[in-house]
Amino acid sequence: MKRVILPTNYSVPSPPQTASTYFYTVSPNGSSTLNSLGVGTMRVAPWLVQRPVSIARLGAEITSAGEAGSKLRIVLYADNGSGYPGALVVDAGQIAGDSATVQELTVSAAPTFGLYWVGGIVQSVTTTQPTVRICSSWTPAVAVGAGTTLGTITAGGAVICLSTTGITAAAPSTFPAGAAGSGNMPRIFARTA
């Protein structure tokens, strides 16, 4: 088993060992709501899994309903070995963006020790996006690339996730190249099996 040694003042999310327990894959310093995540924009954040865990559910919270038929798709990717999302582990499906509730989807995933990327995609919207509970501030488990230009750096915003556009249906089997650093992402939770 690989071992990672982190500074003593550093904490990363670690899934609990008990059955049927809920936890956030990203524990934010700041949580807010947002209705402008971008239709078809996939936003994923790094999640360092410190011990194997069996996941039975993934979910998120819609705080204000979007237009009828709007959705939020939840995804989990493995790392490609270079600190960037790689192969799709789980496309959990979509929760209803037109229902202001906490919602979860049944999945079967067993991440082992290592880096994963978890997030969501607002889909099926023509006018009004749902308002989603987001992570707006946290210290990622790894450095998230801010892109190849100074735009993100000079804007003064936090880079807590990667985003890529144009995902209108199922999540791609391999995360697209060239994702940009972004400062907001859906706050995803999981439940152990």
For residue 133, the model assigns a pLDDT of 94
pLDDT, tens only, 143-162: 676 655 555 555 556 778 89
- Whether 2 is covered by a domain: the verdict is no
Kindly report the CATH number assigned to the domain that includes residue 179.
2.60.120
pLDDT, tens only, 114-139: 999 999 999 999 999 999 999 877 76
Structural domain containing residue 116 = 22-192
- Whether 122 is covered by a domain: the verdict is yes
Find, among 153, 186, 147, the residue nearest to 31 by Cα.
186
- Whether 90 is covered by a domain: the verdict is yes
- Whether 10 is covered by a domain: the verdict is no
Cβ proximity of 89 and 190 under 8 Å: no
- Whether 94 is covered by a domain: the verdict is yes
* Number of domains into which the chain is organized: 1
Find, among 126, 117, 98, the residue nearest to 161 by Cα.
117
